[in-house]
């Protein structure tokens, strides 16, 4: 593949030929990362595929679409064989349990609603796997995430994917600048998943029609409470379901079965008004419910701020931006007020419902698609 005559850079941004550019591709066994590996291999890059075994995949073999399960490792290997590049499987089971699964359980037990996929990217894929890529003398690491990395006037920038329906920027807000300099996201510019599957078919990949994964990879049947009870036996202690006005409305079998904003499955039928979970009181083992209006908030405390803007954050500033408090919600106008020690306060211009500790609050440039970082919502707002 010839270099660009204007910039002398290859498609991954390096001033050398693809043949002299080594790229480690994080391969989950799904169609997205498989297409990334196949495309780069077909362009002549020195591709090395790596798949992480993150948990005991034997228990998940019956679950279609669960990432990093035994079938997915097999699928990734088949793609590597088809495209003729080396492929390795690394056992990260202990690292994954310590860095992701244990915190997932502790967060639920603490009344929070965690997002383990973000922690996995932050603490495993973009940390340990990225270091492995550097150990292999790779020039960069590529993934199948739907997000864009663009060359800005000051440094590499993180941007939302062209296909907003598949944009994964919410799950990648904690990517540091150092990681971003090393990472590449070749699918971020595609307009639809159909384009990805067409590329898979073009390369004759065995995963071209493979379904997308929907659940958290270590929760094969979507039953979070069952996983938590397995990780923390005896953690599901019963308690009272209490109205915000103090009335005891019923009993529950464990706070871990509930999340902020939940309406269905409360087990307190026969009431005249629809009720929602508005608070989880772990100490008293109480699930507090109330009308929808009690879910609204405009002030969100956040911590562990990861900032990707050009100028550093300074306490006392007020920065106009847009934020997402759930992956499925559009960005909302807000003001970011940095504090000391990696803390900040986000003031929403319009109230949001169901803001929950343990979720991420992700920052966006309101005038573009740029991701400016984010933080973790850390106490009830």
**Which amino acids are annotated catalytic?**
120, 217
**Is the separation of the CB atoms in 377 and 358 below 8 Å?**
yes
Q: What are phi and psi of 78, to 5 degrees?
A: -65, -40
Q: Is-contact 55 68, C-beta < 8 A?
A: yes
CA 228/CA 326 separation, integer angstroms: 22
Residues for the chain: how many in total?
381
Which class for 174: exposed (0-12), middle (13-18), buried (19 or more C-beta within 10 A)? Answer: buried
Would you say 324 and 309 are in contact if contact means Cβ atoms under 8 Å apart?
Answer: no
With 0-12 CB in 10 A as exposed, 13-18 as middle and 19+ as buried, what is 38?
A: buried
Torsion angle (degrees, nearest 10) of CA 218, 329, 195, 6: -110
């Amino acid at each position: 593949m010839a270099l660009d005559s204007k910039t002398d850079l290859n498609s991954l941004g390096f001033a050398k030929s693809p043949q002299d550019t080594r790229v480690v591709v994080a391969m989950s066994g799904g169609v997205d990362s498989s297409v990334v590996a196949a495309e780069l291999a077909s362009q002549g890059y020195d591709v090395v595929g790596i798949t992480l075994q993150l948990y005991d995949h034997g228990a998940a073999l019956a679950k279609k679409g669960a990432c990093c399960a035994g079938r997915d490792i097999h699928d990734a290997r088949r793609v590597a064989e088809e495209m003729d590049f080396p492929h390795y499987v690394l056992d990260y089971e202990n690292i994954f349990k310590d860095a992701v699964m244990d915190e997932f359980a502790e967060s639920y037990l603490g009344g929070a609603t965690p997002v383990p996929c973000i922690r996995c990217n932050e603490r495993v894929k973009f940390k340990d796997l990225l270091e492995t890529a550097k150990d292999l003398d790779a020039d960069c690491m590529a993934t199948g995430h739907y997000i864009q990395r663009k060359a800005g006037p000051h440094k590499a920038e993180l941007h939302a994917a062209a296909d907003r329906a598949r944009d994964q920027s919410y799950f990648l807000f904690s990517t540091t600048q150092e990681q971003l300099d090393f990472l590449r996201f070749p699918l971020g510019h595609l307009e639809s998943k159909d384009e990805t599957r067409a590329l898979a078919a073009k390369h004759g990949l065995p995963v071209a029609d493979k379904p997308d994964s929907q659940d958290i990879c270590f929760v094969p049947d979507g039953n979070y409470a069952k996983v938590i009870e397995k990780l923390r036996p005896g953690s599901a202690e019963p308690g009272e379901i209490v109205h915000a006005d103090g009335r005891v409305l019923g009993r529950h079998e464990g706070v871990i079965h509930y999340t902020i904003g939940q309406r269905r499955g409360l087990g307190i039928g026969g009431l005249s008004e629809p009720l929602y979970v508005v608070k989880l009181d772990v100490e008293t083992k109480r699930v507090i419910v109330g009308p929808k209006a009690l879910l609204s908030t405009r002030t969100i405390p956040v911590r562990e701020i990861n900032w990707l803007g050009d100028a550093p954050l300074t306490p006392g500033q007020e920065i106009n931006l847009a934020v997402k408090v759930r992956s499925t919600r559009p960005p909302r106008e807000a003001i970011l007020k940095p504090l000391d020690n990696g803390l900040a306060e986000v003031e929403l211009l319009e109230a949001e419902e169901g803001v929950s500790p343990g979720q991420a609050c992700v920052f966006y440039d309101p005038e573009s698609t740029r991701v400016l970082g984010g933080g973790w919502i850390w106490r009830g707002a």
